[in-house]
């Protein structure tokens, strides 16, 4: 097990009816930037409920940044910073999924920074202070509600890059699973795939003796596999929504990575796809991950993949470990497809044109991966995924 520092001070208010805890925002600051996405929170009534609570709690000023995109753009970040500065706002409230939260965190960090917030993607140490962030989560997926990271897209540069700082970790997050009842199946499925990918990026590692972390990761993976299909079939199944929501937060809050870090493979490869084609992040992950596994499968990785199949999908590991690993990969692919997620890049509108360019771009973000990947490897994984 590796040495680690574990410090996750975000306060989580979990459960139906917890939106009322939003009144606690006034203990942080009474001048709020409200950040949200495409308007679904207006259709569901959440927007009105948020305003009712904010008013009753004595908030003095609310300004809005609306229309944050699924792959949140640097332009939204800049605009949020501008609004906060113009109106002297003191807290950023994200109401939405991971994109809205990521955008909010970047705004919070950018508020105190003299330069352009895109600078953080190359040097997060430029973040020396940040506005406090609070969140109301509406999608179980990215884990951003409890962690230090953000991923922002720069369309001009065809770049989608992540950065992080403990200063960006939300002060509190409200996780009411019933707020996800209205999610379309596609988004629910995407959340499950994103959650599983976060777990798997850490799970496949070479850290000696990190048994507990492996056990915890498998516990979370089984939870996602059990409840993903349930939530898609019965969107208002509270038990399924609750398990998926808490699972997504624990998947990427630092618990699994503490003692067992690994360089990520699929996220960096996917970010380049999203940056160029603006596809749904989790679609890219669901397409790439089984192909990545198939590409790096050999005598050395097969035992890990087979064990993954045994622990998560209940396969029996036979004498031929390579075959068992292949079965695990098949089952993962089948599971993603059964959720309605795409299996090929063609399905999301990506062809051969830019594979070489994207491979060249992705490889610069890959380091300390479970299996080292060259540009040729990434190209081959993309090509397998067509």
Is residue 242 involved in binding a copy of itself (CB under 8 A)?
yes
Alpha-carbon distance 334 to 182, whole Å? Answer: 25
Torsion, CA 220, CA 225, CA 231, CA 232, rounded to 10 = 140
Note whether 2 binds a copy of itself by CB under 8 A: yes
227 binds a copy of itself (CB under 8 A): yes
Integer Cα distance of 242 and 255 in angstroms: 19
Q: Which of 17, 125, 319, 353 binds a copy of itself (CB under 8 A)?
A: 17
The residues near 269 (Cβ < 8 Å, ≥ 6 apart) are 284, 288, 292, 362, 366, 378, 381, 382
368 binds a copy of itself (CB under 8 A): no
DSSP-based three-state secondary structure for 350? coil
Please tell me whether residue 206 binds a copy of itself under the rule CB under 8 A: no
The answer to whether the beta carbons of residues 218 and 312 sit under 8 Å apart is: yes
Does residue 27 interact with a copy of itself by CB under 8 A? Answer: no
| Nearer residue to a copy of itself within complex by CB, 13 or 113 | 13
> Which of the residues 207 through 226 are near a copy of itself (CB under 8 A)?
208-209, 211-212, 215-216, 218-220, 222-223, 226
| Site size with a copy of itself, rule: CB under 8 A | 41
- From the CB of 303, what's the least distance to a copy of itself, in Å? 18
Contacts of 144 (CB under 8 A, 6+ apart): 98, 101, 102, 105, 135, 150, 252
Give one DSSP letter per residue of 217-235, joined into a string: HHHHHHHHHHHHHHHHH-T
Do 109 and 117 form a contact (C-beta atoms < 8 A)? yes
Tell me: does residue 12 bind a copy of itself (CB under 8 A): yes
In the chain, how long is the greatest CA-to-CA distance?
68
Single out the residue of 27, 239, 298, 352 in contact with a copy of itself (rule: CB under 8 A). 239
Tell the smallest beta-carbon distance from residue 195 to a copy of itself (Å).
Answer: 12
Question: Strands 172-175, 133-137: parallel, antiparallel or unpaired by DSSP?
Answer: parallel
Closer residue to a copy of itself, CB minimum distance, 259 or 340: 259
Shortest CA distance to 260 belongs to which of 201, 311, 313, 310? 201
C-beta of 281 vs 311, nearer to a copy of itself: 311
**What are the tokens at 197?**
């990918």
Show the binding pattern over residues 258-287: x = contacts a copy of itself (CB under 8 A), - = does not.
xx----------------------------
Q: Is 82 in the site for a copy of itself (CB under 8 A)?
A: no
Nearer to a copy of itself, 249 or 301 (CB): 249
Subset of 143-182 contacting a copy of itself (CB under 8 A): 177
User: Which residues make up the interface to a copy of itself (CB under 8 A)?
Assistant: 1-18, 177, 208-209, 211-212, 215-216, 218-220, 222-223, 226-227, 238-239, 242-243, 246-247, 250, 258-259
């Amino acid at each position: 097990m590796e040495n680690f520092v574990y410090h996750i001070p975000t306060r989580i208010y979990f459960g139906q009816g917890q939106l009322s805890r939003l009144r606690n925002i006034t203990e942080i600051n009474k001048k709020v930037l409200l950040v949200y996405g495409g308007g679904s929170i207006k259709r569901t009534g959440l927007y009105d409920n948020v305003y009712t609570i904010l008013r009753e709690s004595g908030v003095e000023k609310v300004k809005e940044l609306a229309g944050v995109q699924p792959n949140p753009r640097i332009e939204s970040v800049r605009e949020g910073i501008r609004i906060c500065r113009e109106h002297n706002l003191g807290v950023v409230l994200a109401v939405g999924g991971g994109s809205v939260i990521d955008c909010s965190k970047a705004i919070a960090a950018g508020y105190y920074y003299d330069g352009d917030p895109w600078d953080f993607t190359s040097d997060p140490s430029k973040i020396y202070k940040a506005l406090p962030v609070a969140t109301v989560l509406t999608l179980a997926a990215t884990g951003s509600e409890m962690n230090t990271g953000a991923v922002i897209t720069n369309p001009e540069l065809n770049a989608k890059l992540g950065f992080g700082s403990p200063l960006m970790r939300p002060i509190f997050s409200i996780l009411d699973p019933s707020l996800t009842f209205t999610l379309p199946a596609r988004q629910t499925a995407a959340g499950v795939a994103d959650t599983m990918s976060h777990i798997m990026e850490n799970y496949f590692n070479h850290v000696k003796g990190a048994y507990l972390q492996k056990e915890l990761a498998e516990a979370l993976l089984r939870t996602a596999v059990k409840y993903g299909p349930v939530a898609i079939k019965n969107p208002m199944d509270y038990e399924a929504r609750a398990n998926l929501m808490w699972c997504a937060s624990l998947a990427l809050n630092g618990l699994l990575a503490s003692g067992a870090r690994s360089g990520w493979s699929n996220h960096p490869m996917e970010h380049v796809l999203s940056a160029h084609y603006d596809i749904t992040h989790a679609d890219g992950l669901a397409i790439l991950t089984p192909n990545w596994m198939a590409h790096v499968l050999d005598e050395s990785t097969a035992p890990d993949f087979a064990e993954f199949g045994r622990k998560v999908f209940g396969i029996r590991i036979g004498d031929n470990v390579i075959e068992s690993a292949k079965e695990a990969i098949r089952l993962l692919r089948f599971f993603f497809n059964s959720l309605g997620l795409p299996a090929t890049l063609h399905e999301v509108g990506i062809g051969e044109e830019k594979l070489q360019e994207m491979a060249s771009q992705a490889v610069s973000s890959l380091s300390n991966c479970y299996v080292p990947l060259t540009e040729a490897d990434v190209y081959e994984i993309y090509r397998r995924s067509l």
